[in-house]
Amino acid sequence: MKGLLRKGNIMKISASYWMFEGGLEAKRPVVEAMQEAKKLGFDAIELCIADQGVLTDKTTQEQCETLKKQAKQVGIEISSLASGQSWFTSPSASDDQTRKRIVAFTKSALQVAKWLGTDAYLFVPGAVDVFFNPQSEVVPYDVCYKRATQVVRSLVSTAEKLGVSICIENVWNKFLLSPLEMKNFIDSFKSKRVGSYFDVGNVILTGYPDQWIRILGRRIKRVHIKDFKKSVGTVEGFVDLLEGDVDFNAVKKALADIKYNGYVTAEMIPFAAGRPEKTAAAMIKIFKK
């Protein structure tokens, strides 16, 4: 059965395309990233889409079929499709043309995900502010919530038609700050094609990943794996796996408790020499042993 990935306590581990050299810049040939991920011991790779680069909203079905064939030849699965486009074309922007552009982009991205053979698309639904861009617009929280709701609602029919889930990620956007709020936001759409892309490292500063997992439960479609050191308290607190404060035993137990059977994807960015190798070793230690 598709998606049945657990054998006992062993999970299928995935690597984000962004963690490889040239990935964040969307310049690394996808097949090279696939080959590197496979060589390092990953079962799958999460591909990434933007408005420019090696995989975009203009990518054709034929090009996606080629990527699928290459993945099969390499012996690796495509776990999901991610995008950071919402950070730059925000669903919560005051400019309505910006909101229309992200809707159009996301509809195309959902189609690309379908062509690639995956059923999960990572989506950032808006932001009160963009933590890495001090010049970004600051949107009032309630306004952000209203606009984000409108944008996601406009995408639901496309997601349902294609059979690809819009997976809302908890990120540092000062929005959807608690598991209860995330749960209620997802439930408001009354669609099985709106769910959570849960990132364990992104909540460690203000909460407990295992609590989020149990509260979100069946809504979790995919999981990102990162680590964070609370004593740092800034973006510099993101550290290599097993060097921070994430309790991975608690995370694994919580995932088992909710019977999660999706991929666990390492999103260790930006690229640094030796980091992919170090990440792969940690993922195998955490989830395969």
pLDDT digits (tens, 9 = 90+) for 83-114: 999 999 999 999 999 999 999 999 999 999 99
SS3 label, residue 97: helix
Q: Which residue, among 289, 267, 284, has the nearest Cα to 20 in the 3D structure?
A: 267
The model's pTM = 0.95
Write down the pLDDT at residue 10: 66
Which two three-digit tokens encode residue 258?
């909710």
Quick one: tokens of 27?
């310049």
Least confident of 5-14, 71-80, 226-235: 5-14
Q: Which amino acid is at 107?
A: K
Can you give the pLDDT at residue 11? 83
d(CA 16, CA 271): 11
Q: Within 13 Å, how many C-alpha atoms sit on residue 103's CB side?
A: 19
pLDDT for the residue numbered 5:
40
139, pLDDT greater than 80: yes
Do residues 155 and 107 make contact, with C-beta atoms less than 8 angstroms apart? yes
Q: 13-287 belongs to which CATH class?
A: alpha beta
Residue 4 has pLDDT above 50, yes or no: no
| Res. 124: pLDDT tops 70 | yes
The whole-number pLDDT of residue 8 equals 46
In this prediction, residues 53-79 reach a mean pLDDT of 98
CA distance 59 to 50: 10
Please enumerate in sequence order all residues whose Cβ is within 8 A of that of 3, keeping only pairs 6 or more positions apart, or say none: 119, 261, 262
The average pLDDT across 187-211 equals 97
Burial state string for 148-158 with b = 16 or more CB within 10 A and e = fewer than 16: bbebbeebeeb
pLDDT of residue 77: 98
